[in-house]
Structure 1
Amino acid sequence: MQKNTFKHLGFNDFYLALIGLPLLSFFIPQIFFQLYPWDGWEIFRHEWQESFLFTLSFWVLFRTLMIRLRKRFPLFSQIKIRIKKMLIYYICLVPIVNITLVSVFHLCQMKDAYDPNIYQAYLTTYFVSFTIIALYEAIYFYAQLSASITEREQARQAQIRSELDGLRNQVNPHFLFNSLNTLMHIVSEDQELAKRFLQRLSKVYRYILESRTSPLIPLAEELKFIDAYVFLQQERFQGNLEVEITIDSVFKQHHIVPLSLQILFENAIKHNIISKQHPLLIEVFVNEHLHLVVRNNLQRKRQVLDSTQAGLENISRRYAYFSKEDIKVEESEQYFTVTLPLIHPNKSSLYESADY
């Protein structure tokens, strides 16, 4: 029961009621009736007690109504309906409860030591009721807003995780197959090279498996991974793959989405001819707009099926969570170029603590 009550109130109101109701009742005679403890304690004490009974009655009434309305209209989007209905209750019930309590007091012969006029009485009860409703609605609104933000963040993280997991599943089989084929050719010819090849292969797969720990990763980490990845690919293509990475150290602390460079390198290798007559050159640098550029000379293979561009779409979707800037894809007669936004470390730190 207490758990459900907490759910519909948004907080535990035990101490608020225990301390807040007597405290509010203590100030009501002073604010509305200009009765002060030092002017006559017996009169003030009597009014304090009566104010407390009024405050407690309205608190129980409107607290109960709020819980019932929130059970009936629980969604954050239904807040306007709840407030409209609560205002109707507020306008209609305050005078009814006020008259009922006054009648009960008279029947119980609880004669006021101080008899305020009717306007003071109604102003007081309306004030008490409004204070209770406004306080509870404000706290509940904040609790629902926080829960809504948390749910959206969890959904966003789940989406990123799903896309990255899907990407890892795509990368692993093809890349492993090609790498093992290359290893088979060099293991009998050069054992030292085979050992280095296995070490780099291990680094690549460790990075692929561990890259899901954060939605963003420092460019320096991605470049270390690319260095190992390029070593494997250069052994596969016998030196016909050339890579030039020219990036100032100041930019290496900026962040990108994991495996984005690997996707772009893989696309360049997959869709272009690589031979002694036509070596493939992939360049990586930061342009004058402080964006990361990956560019390769264009020498397309003849393919029966067109590219689905699934890798580029994956990068674009994941970048959309962290940057208002889109990735740019440009193709000319000479080059195929992809430009990626660099995420500043101050901004990326907001996402590094995400639970992945």
Structure 2
Amino acid sequence: MKWPNEKMTRWVGIPIVGFIMSFIVKDHEHEHNSLIENIMISMVFTGVLWNGAVLIIFQLRKKFPDLPQTGNRLVVTYLVVTLFMIICPNLIRLSLGIVEFSELDDIKNIFMNSEINMVAAFMVSSVYEGAYFFGKWRESFAFAEQLKNQQIRTQFEVLQNQMSPHFLFNSLNTLTTLIAEDQKVAIDFTQTLSEVYRYILQNKERELVKLKEELAFSKAYVYLLQMRYPENLEVNFSIGDVFNERYIAPLTLQMLIENAIKHNIISKTEPLQIDIYVDKRDVLVVKNNLQLKKTLEKSTKTGLANIRKRYEFLGQREIDVITSQSNYMVAVPLIEMLTELEFTKSSTYDRINH
């Protein structure tokens, strides 16, 4: 349903409400005025009070804009608008010469028609806050739907592209070689490969995982890669335990590691080094030396875009990408608050040991 324009409603409503109020509010100050004069005075009061209340409401929305702040916003709005509805009418009466300043010494004159004004304050605040709350609720609902849709796309991409049949094919080729050379290592390799795919299946529907879980999975994934590139790939993890309870979007590290391998030369003469650490801004950094391939493997080129989109939907800081002549770096925010983003649908994954 499309709501009417607020400004149009207000300016159409002011003369209508002012006209009605001229018959409702009866006091000795207006008893000698003509009907037209009473209507005009009532419209002035209505216009100033309505516009003033709206200005207060809009300013407090800027101060308390979010849905969880609704309670604080309501309390402050009702208090400030009520105070405004008591003070402002007296200033209008003084400006229009309806009363003299000396007459305001009497408490009864100060609070004249205050009951009606406070009821009006409550009604105006309730209508505006109700509309604002409903709008925010709809935004929140739309956000959840967007996140759900993005998660579906993530699941598809992870299963179809990120952990592709190409990776599985290479892993099985490596396993075949290991079986012939060293059965114990082959068994370890098989167990790690199963753990990697178990992590994917268990976490593909989650929006966030603990960093320690993602690190354990990434180390298992790197173990498989290093069996394929035993002397040509070096991955260094330098992350303190203090960050273990932070959160990250699942498979983020895997995507970034795979991205480095997919786009860079890995050879004895040009080994690839990947450093994973947390910098002084408390963001997770994945850095590799830059030695781009002349021809790239077939790619949908959506890995980094996928990560960006997921963090955008989660309301976190943007992903930073820094490229120099010798290095390529991606900085990913670490998330501290799970309580407001608790969309987890599966059980916590046990730490991978390999």
Structures share fold, TM-score greater than 0.5: yes
For the structure 1 residues 266 and 75, does the alpha-carbon distance in structure 2 shift closer, same or farther, using more than 3 Å as the test?
same
Partner of 1:49: none
Task: Give me the whole-angstrom Cα distance separating, in 1, the residues matched to 2:136 and 2:178.
Answer: 58
Q: How far off its partner does 1:137 sit?
A: 1.7
Task: Give me the whole-angstrom Cα distance separating, in 1, the residues matched to 2:123 and 2:208.
Answer: 44
Aligned residue identity for 1:299: Q
Unmatched 5+ stretches in structure 2:
32-41, 43-112, 347-354
Q: Does 1:322 align with 2:315?
A: yes
Aligned residue identity for 2:158: R
Q: Does 1:157 align with 2:84?
A: no
Aligned residue identity for 2:341: Y
**Conserved 8 A contact 1:226-1:261:** yes
For residues 246-294 of structure 1, the C-alpha deviation after alignment (integer angstroms, 9 at most, x for no partner) is 1111122222222121111111211222233333222112233333222
Q: Does 1:352 align with 2:279?
A: no
Unmatched 5+ stretches in structure 1:
1-73, 99-114
For the structure 1 residues 271 and 92, does the alpha-carbon distance in structure 2 shift closer, same or farther, using more than 3 Å as the test?
same
Task: Give me the whole-angstrom Cα distance separating, in 2, the residues matched to 1:166 and 1:134.
Answer: 48
Task: Give me the whole-angstrom Cα distance separating, in 1, the residues matched to 2:197 and 2:287.
Answer: 25
Q: How far off its partner does 1:309 sit?
A: 4.5
Q: Does 1:277 align with 2:204?
A: no
User: Which protein has the larger Cα radius of gyration, Structure 1 or Structure 2?
Assistant: 1
For the structure 1 residues 128 and 283, does the alpha-carbon distance in structure 2 shift closer, same or farther, using more than 3 Å as the test?
closer
Task: Give me the whole-angstrom Cα distance separating, in 1, the residues matched to 2:289 and 2:125.
Answer: 65
Q: Does 1:207 align with 2:199?
A: yes
Partner of 1:286: 278
Q: Does 1:242 align with 2:234?
A: yes
- Over the matched positions of the two proteins, sequence identity in percent amounts to 33
For the structure 1 residues 139 and 340, does the alpha-carbon distance in structure 2 shift closer, same or farther, using more than 3 Å as the test?
closer
Q: Does 1:196 align with 2:188?
A: yes
For the structure 1 residues 118 and 277, does the alpha-carbon distance in structure 2 shift closer, same or farther, using more than 3 Å as the test?
closer
For the structure 1 residues 203 and 305, does the alpha-carbon distance in structure 2 shift closer, same or farther, using more than 3 Å as the test?
closer
For the structure 1 residues 195 and 116, does the alpha-carbon distance in structure 2 shift closer, same or farther, using more than 3 Å as the test?
same
1:45-56 pair list within 5 angstroms: none
The size of the alignment, in residue pairs, is 263
- Equivalent residue for 2:162, pick from 159, 168, 171: 171
Task: Give me the whole-angstrom Cα distance separating, in 1, the residues matched to 2:4 and 2:293.
Answer: 54
Q: Secondary structure at the match of 2:267?
A: coil
Q: How far off its partner does 1:143 sit?
A: 4.3
**Conserved 8 A contact 1:160-1:215:** no
**Conserved 8 A contact 1:94-1:125:** no
Q: Does 1:295 align with 2:287?
A: yes
Q: Secondary structure at the match of 1:293?
A: strand
Aligned residue identity for 2:163: N
Q: Does 1:337 align with 2:339?
A: no
Partner of 2:218: 226
Q: Which moved more, 1:138-147 or 1:244-253?
A: 138-147
Partner of 2:62: none
Q: Secondary structure at the match of 1:266?
A: helix
For the structure 1 residues 228 and 76, does the alpha-carbon distance in structure 2 shift closer, same or farther, using more than 3 Å as the test?
farther
- Equivalent residue for 2:17, pick from 79, 82, 90: 90
Q: How far off its partner does 1:303 sit?
A: 0.7
- Equivalent residue for 1:255, pick from 243, 247, 263: 247
Q: Which moved more, 1:181-190 or 1:306-315?
A: 306-315
Q: Secondary structure at the match of 1:295?
A: strand
Task: Give me the whole-angstrom Cα distance separating, in 1, the residues matched to 2:218 and 2:115.
Answer: 71
**Conserved 8 A contact 1:281-1:296:** yes
**Conserved 8 A contact 1:271-1:300:** yes
For the structure 1 residues 305 and 245, does the alpha-carbon distance in structure 2 shift closer, same or farther, using more than 3 Å as the test?
closer
- Equivalent residue for 2:259, pick from 267, 274, 285: 267
For the structure 1 residues 249 and 116, does the alpha-carbon distance in structure 2 shift closer, same or farther, using more than 3 Å as the test?
closer
**Conserved 8 A contact 1:182-1:236:** yes
Task: Give me the whole-angstrom Cα distance separating, in 2, the residues matched to 1:196 and 1:280.
Answer: 24
Aligned residue identity for 2:200: I
For the structure 1 residues 254 and 125, does the alpha-carbon distance in structure 2 shift closer, same or farther, using more than 3 Å as the test?
closer
Q: How far off its partner does 1:152 sit?
A: 3.5
Q: Secondary structure at the match of 1:242?
A: strand
- Equivalent residue for 1:312, pick from 293, 304, 309: 304
For the structure 1 residues 286 and 138, does the alpha-carbon distance in structure 2 shift closer, same or farther, using more than 3 Å as the test?
closer
TM-score w.r.t. length of structure 1: 0.60
Partner of 2:138: 148
Alignment root-mean-square deviation, CA: 3.7
